[in-house]
Structure 1
């Protein structure tokens, strides 16, 4: 088994005032530097010819540009597309902010004349250059980095115990669910021979009334009428007794000797 590396414990946290200065001091310093830088950048915009309130856009454009470029440069992995451009833009934004402060203070103290063509030209190019580079960073896709699954310890192969399994007995051969056709055919032929043969009636309504005789009684007129009503509607008594019953009993004369149904009108 490979020897595992000892885990190092994290460094102990500092005192509470040190942690407070680290957490609360960063945003405080950031806000203070932004506030102190705004007048110089505002005055440089005024020297270049911008009037109020447009001159106030110079501090915000430089500050936002520097922050966005720094974040993009810090979050994109090494060698990713757009990281070098973001790093260059962050450095360029810092140079612009420093130059704006220096120029503004030199002009305010009388060491420099603000009415110079190169100063006006360079300052006028700042907003479109910042916008173009921010659009370039926004159009550059951010690579998706898969989480690392590497560990410090050397992987150890798991120990697999071999388990002896009892032999599985062979499955019994099941009988076929359906009998062969040679065995089924005689049974079907016997059933067909035992089935009563129905004559070919001239009137198809006789085939509906004929099963009423299977109860051992001769059906009444009302019984025949109810049996034919769903398919043929109302049938007259003369047709029931003189046509349908007569044809059925003509084919099977022994049906006329059956007793009539009790409680019914013949």
Structure 2
């Protein structure tokens, strides 16, 4: 007779992202962004000419909208939730996207003959397009002048004595046997159902007492921790360079963002509140 064996401990697999997927993502995003700006530039240039700028200055309309969208989106994604300027940056990102989207159909309506600019373009179009550059500049200056709130964590000085409390002994969780009565009717004839033992939840890592080094489950975390000493939260590329420099294999972006950096910040939660380090474009 066939038997259903008791379930073995549930295995968790860390499936790293293939290198070619990371390269395609890193290269594909700037390529798509460049092509989008190239496709939108003629329509924005056309609106600039309709508003009264000459042929040369009208190309600045495409640059203004592209820079506005990129800067607002970058600030909105980098600022932590609740930080000053976060809401304004999100609204600016949506506003820049709406402006870039509306510029294309309006320009195409004039180009395809559905609307006509003869003998002169509408007053509302001239006023609206003329107000875009100063409004964009004002909002970007507002985002640049808004400080980022950093939560400071007080650390004990060398003269202070912190009492060391030994950690409580970890209790070994007992396996829980699931009831099998509800499954007997669904089992085919000739198959004997055995109890299924559910895997107990893994215990939460315990922060070591003050004065003792942190023991990471992954040795690569020890190579990442010094990157926080400059007061900034390191990015994926900086973490990868530190891991490779320490002699480990090149990890994927998913392992860095989903496993290694969270473990470091789980032991020291204040590290997650640090402002993000600037992205090194040259890297």
Report the TM-score, using the length of structure 2 for normalisation.
0.48
* Offset at residue 26 of structure 1 (A): 1.1
Equivalent residue number for residue 12 of structure 1: 16
* Offset at residue 31 of structure 1 (A): 1.0
**Whole-angstrom distance in 2 between the partners of 1:142 and 1:132:** 19
Count of matched residue pairs: 150
* Offset at residue 98 of structure 1 (A): 0.5
SS in 2 for 1:53: helix
Equivalent residue number for residue 6 of structure 2: none
Equivalent residue number for residue 45 of structure 2: 42
**Whole-angstrom distance in 1 between the partners of 2:116 and 2:145:** 40
* 2:133 maps to 1:127: yes
**Whole-angstrom distance in 1 between the partners of 2:207 and 2:143:** 41
Equivalent residue number for residue 106 of structure 1: 109
Q: 2:61 aligns with which of 45, 58, 63?
A: 58
**Whole-angstrom distance in 1 between the partners of 2:12 and 2:53:** 58
- In structure 2, the CA distance between the partners of 1:152 and 1:106, relative to structure 1 (3 Å rule), is farther
- In structure 2, the CA distance between the partners of 1:9 and 1:75, relative to structure 1 (3 Å rule), is farther
**Whole-angstrom distance in 2 between the partners of 1:156 and 1:63:** 49
Unaligned runs of 5+ in 1: 1-5, 159-266
Structure of greater relative contact order (alpha carbons < 8 Å, 6+ residues apart): 2
* Offset at residue 155 of structure 1 (A): 4.1
Equivalent residue number for residue 80 of structure 2: 77
Equivalent residue number for residue 154 of structure 1: 206
Point out the structure with max Rg over C-alpha. Answer: 1
Equivalent residue number for residue 175 of structure 2: none
* Offset at residue 85 of structure 1 (A): 0.5
Unaligned runs of 5+ in 2: 1-9, 154-202, 211-283
Cα distance per residue 1:203-235 (max 9 Å; x no partner)? xxxxxxxxxxxxxxxxxxxxxxxxxxxxxxxxx
* Offset at residue 76 of structure 1 (A): 0.7
Cα distance per residue 1:49-79 (max 9 Å; x no partner)? 1113111110001000111111111111111
Preserved CA contact (<8 Å) 1:72 1:83: yes
**Whole-angstrom distance in 1 between the partners of 2:208 and 2:12:** 21
* 2:29 maps to 1:23: no
